[in-house]
Amino acid sequence: MEYRNLGRTGVKVSPLCLGAMMFGAWGEPDHDTSIRIIHAALDAGINFVDTADVYSQGENEEIVGKALKGRRDDIVLATKFHGQMGDEINHQGNSRRWIMQEVENSLRRLDTDYIDLYQVHRPDEETDVEEMLSALTDLVRAGKIRYFGSSTFPASQIVEAQWVARDRGLERFKTEQPPYSMLVRGIEADVLPTAQRHGMGVIPWSPLAGGWLSGKYRKGADTPTSTRADRLPHRYDLSLPGNQRKFEAADALGALADEVGIPLIEIAIAFVINHPAVTSAIIGPRTMEHLESQLPAATRQLDAELLDRIDEIVPPATSFNYADTGYANPALEPAARRR
């Protein structure tokens, strides 16, 4: 496996990042099984693991912490904060108060002294960007985190954060973690070139589009069911026009994969990691079989002809369903649009 630069940090990471979201109550509930899958990924050469506090309300970080015992110093470990943790009103968001409290919680659950990459899971319109960057800078200087980054930020807010950091003498976002797949290509128009201009590593989530590119969404086949579809019906309900167009595209991409003789899963992940702006694609296996089907994508190359045919099915910068972008822009809420 060839390793890549994580932006301009000097850190080398694998082209596949093990996303741990499906370990715990949200996916595989058995901790020993989850740990075996994590170890198999590490043994295959993956040295980059991504989780978040909100995944299974902290259980996920605990599983990752157990799995990394004895191997922690060899792994680039990333986690995230922002989501609601419990019922307390201030146990969420991007405030200094919560960042300082939650980093300690994550360190305890992960059973580690430091986090390599601490990421802001989503923007927070109620928190000043300088407040957030100042707190994260203090954590870097205290040695609790090595770097920090953003996740699912629009290009305009990425730029704002870069300029505020420069203007105030603060540490800056070193990475962005956006949604990206053959079915969710909106970031090609702005986020990816913005990240390139600022020397940021890019770590896309959901290269399989939440399972739509698993090969199971085909005409004539039974519609797949999953806990994720139950949790996020707006991304899977086929009565919605955007999802219907997504289904048509997934079926066409599946037919293309059959024609060229490459599993759709491999094409989907390789499509993401072959983009010159992308550092590492986050894969999220729930089973050992899932992991084994995704690992070959790390070395899969897609030629220009195949990429052109993918573009014919899903044109560049196209996203069929706004819900797949992962960020509800408050500027589009009715209250913000009333004259």
What is the pLDDT confidence band of residue 316, given thresholds at 50, 70 and 90? Answer: very high
Query: What mean pLDDT is predicted for residues 46-68?
Result: 98
Specify the pLDDT at position 328.
87
In the annotation, is 55 catalytic? Answer: yes
Per the domain annotation, does 109 fall within a domain? yes
Specify the pLDDT at position 103.
98
Per the domain annotation, does 80 fall within a domain? yes
Q: What percent of the chain has pLDDT over 90?
A: 92
Q: What is the pLDDT of residues 228-247, one digit of tens each?
A: 788 888 999 999 999 999 99
Query: What mean pLDDT is predicted for residues 249-276?
Result: 98
What is the pLDDT confidence band of residue 226, given thresholds at 50, 70 and 90? Answer: confident
Per the domain annotation, does 111 fall within a domain? yes
203: closest CA among 187, 183, 227, 189?
187
Q: What is the pLDDT of residues 151-201, one digit of tens each?
A: 999 999 999 999 999 999 999 999 999 999 999 999 999 999 999 999 999
Number of domains in the chain: 1
Backbone angles phi, psi at 71, to 5 degrees: -130, 5
The CATH number given to whatever domain includes residue 278 is 3.20.20.100
Q: Is the pLDDT of residue 202 over 90?
A: yes
Q: Is the pLDDT of residue 338 over 90?
A: no
Any idea what DSSP says for residue 10? -
Per the domain annotation, does 283 fall within a domain? yes
Q: What is the pLDDT of residues 86-121, one digit of tens each?
A: 999 999 999 999 999 999 999 999 999 999 999 999
Q: Is the pLDDT of residue 333 over 90?
A: no
Q: Is the pLDDT of residue 227 over 80?
A: no
Cα separations in angstroms, 302 against 42, 201, 262, 295:
25, 21, 10, 16
Backbone angles phi, psi at 15, to 5 degrees: -70, -15
CA distance 161 to 226: 36
Burial of 212 (0-12, 13-18, 19+ CB in 10 A): buried
Residue 277 domain boundaries: 4-214+262-323
pTM: 0.95
CA distance 282 to 210: 12
Per the domain annotation, does 190 fall within a domain? yes
Per the domain annotation, does 247 fall within a domain? no
Per the domain annotation, does 226 fall within a domain? no
Q: Which residue is catalytic, options 55, 118, 147, 217?
A: 55
Specify the pLDDT at position 186.
97
Per the domain annotation, does 329 fall within a domain? no
Q: DSSP letter string over 60-122?
A: HHHHHHHHTTTTGGGSEEEEEE-S--SS-TTSSSS-HHHHHHHHHHHHHHHT-S-EEEEEE-S
